[in-house]
Structure 1
Amino acid sequence: MLVCLTATVGYAQEVLVENGKIIIDASAIPNTRVKKARATDGNNITRGTNTATNISSVVSDDKVYYKFELSRERFTGFWLFAVNRCRNLTDDGGGWRLPTYKEAALIYILWPELTKAGLTDVAGGTGTDAGGDGTTLPYVTYDDNGTIQRVDKRRTGNYYRCIRDLD
């Protein structure tokens, strides 16, 4: 998955600043225009059902949303807390959610451009030790082959940043 996202970095994805909002345009990679779920029936241990109505499902992670805004604030806590905090965020009219795995990876990959656009702290696509230095991907663990395995939802030190699907 990272190979797919990184193969086109530099010309496929674009970081935009529009009216003070920081946006990722991911329309040049496999994307969807169907708005992502904002809730989950999973918990801090399991993903829950594998349907598009569950933000943590494999189905929901199939493709990134084609264009999304990033919140300026990042915060820490358990994963389920983060899902609900983003879902309940009312800034600029609401509609916020936690990124999917692939969207978090894209945030991490584009972190140097996002910091130039004005974001601060760690990437917070969700995770720990993710300062955009190229050494860690937010909240994701790897196997020995470098394949993304899972989010460590049980850690309280995970950093999160909400996103919002744009039309």
Structure 2
Amino acid sequence: MIIDYKREKVFPLMFLIIGITLLISGILLIVNFDKKAIAGLSFLVIGLIIVFTRKGTLIDFEKKKTKHYVGLFLIKIGNWKTLENYSYVTLLHLNLKSHGYSRTGVQFSEKNKVFRVCLLDKTHREKIKIKDFKNIESANLEAKKIAKKMNYDFVKYNPT
């Protein structure tokens, strides 16, 4: 059985706003102006790519493989990796921050508290990111479910 864990969008919030603007502009150009339909179509395609491209992880529980991908709708580009060196599942508590600057120098920032489910090797030095959650209950539940399906131990992160 293969499960798809969709993760964050590829583009940050500032670019998502631009993508939505391009989508709306493209639709308006196609509908209202016949001579501008080609420009509208190109705006629409660029906007679709910006807004709907996201990262994710596929896990094949039977073959014990994982695939990190960048996907747009049903197209998922990435390589399969074996999980033979990994034997633990953990839950990490992270504070993430992203920021950018406008042309006038104004800083935009976004802060998130994230609970990340990861697979670990025996020394806990190598991690494979599976999925991020906003609340600890659903993250804990999913980590235990993955550990049970993979026959891995659910452990506290402790690199040695």
Q: TM-score, normalised by structure 2?
A: 0.24
Q: As a proportion of its length, which structure holds more strand?
A: 2
Q: Which protein has greater RCO, CA pairs closer than 8 Å, 6+ apart?
A: 1
- Structure number with greater Rg is 2
